[in-house]
Amino acid sequence: MSRFNDRVILATGAASGLGLATARLFAKEGASLVLVDVNGEKLLAAQHELRDIGAHVEIVVGDVSTAQTAQDAVALADKSFGRLDVLFNNAAICPLSATALIETPEALFDQVIDINLKSVYLFCTAAIPLIARSGGGSVVNTASTAGLKASPRESVYGISKAAVIQLTKSIARDHAKDKIRANCICPGFLESVMTDRRADMTDEALVKRRARASELVPLGREGEYDEVARSVAFLASELESSYITGAAIVIDGGFTAI
């Protein structure tokens, strides 16, 4: 399949995890890519990997919570490819130190909101005019089951993801006239924790998390990045999801069903 031949995709948080898995899938299906991440070393490695399989890939190293990074990424898409068809807002953090709300310092609250929510606003604001100029397209945002169901001691993360869901619906309503669809995914337990959290967790803690997922998830396991990436590609594809907009697709092995 080559669903994304002649399509240009901008993805944030693309140097590792779900972002990189999705970038690989887009690249294999013919897309040209602009990838954004704060980790320059990993982002450069991702660029080399995807170019080796024949993809056209440009990168922007920067903080997604700043308007300049969003503007630079969209300008690069326009300069390099002359269009933009898909925006995948995936960058996020979930610090271990951001726990119960009253135990979360104001500066940390602001940081999580800036990276998880404000970045989506900034990239949508920068990208939507170019997507509209390109004839329409798709916005896919990474939310979370934490935005639907409160998780213990992850208050600000859940707040940010609930807001991403509502932001997605607002984009869908306001920009349908521009032939732009907007949807979000709500993953549950995945094969590893987010990059910032992994740095503060031991291997033993990850094993315990995996066991907990087996107990809580009806399918009895964590999800794989590639499984979620396929859902992102489905929502990005005009051929397959042309009548889906404003949706929050839950990808959690049944976790929120119980």
Phi, psi of 156 (to 5 degrees): -70, -30
Under 8 Å between Cβ of 17 and 195? yes
Give me the numbers of helices (H) and strands (E) for the chain, helices first please: 9, 7
Q: How far apart are CA 114 and CA 119, in angstroms?
A: 6
Indicate left, alpha or beta for 103 from its phi (over 0: left) and psi (-120 to 50: alpha): alpha
In a domain, 222, yes or no: no
Written as tens digits, the pLDDT of the chain (258 aa) is 689 999 999 999 999 999 999 999 999 999 999 999 999 999 999 999 999 999 999 999 999 999 999 999 999 999 999 999 999 999 999 988 889 999 999 999 999 999 999 999 999 999 999 999 999 999 999 999 999 999 888 999 999 999 999 999 999 999 999 999 999 999 999 987 776 676 677 888 778 888 888 899 999 999 999 999 999 999 999 999 999 999 999 999 999 998
In a domain, 220, yes or no: no
Domain count, the chain: 1
Amino acid present at 103: E
Helix or strand (DSSP H, E) at 80: helix 67-81
Flag whether the pTM goes above 0.75. yes
Query: Which CATH number belongs to the domain containing residue 236 in this structure?
Result: 3.40.50.720
In a domain, 97, yes or no: yes
Is 157 one of the catalytic residues? yes
Pairing of strands 32-37, 57-61: parallel
* pLDDT given for residue 206 in this prediction: 78
In a domain, 1, yes or no: no
- What radius of gyration, in Å, describes the C-alpha atoms of the chain? 17
In a domain, 250, yes or no: no
In a domain, 37, yes or no: yes
* pLDDT given for residue 27 in this prediction: 98
* pLDDT given for residue 213 in this prediction: 85
In a domain, 51, yes or no: yes
In a domain, 107, yes or no: yes
Over residues 152-200, the pLDDT tens digits come to 889 999 999 999 999 999 999 999 999 999 999 999 999 877 766 766 7
Expressed as residue numbers, the domain containing 133 is 8-186+228-244
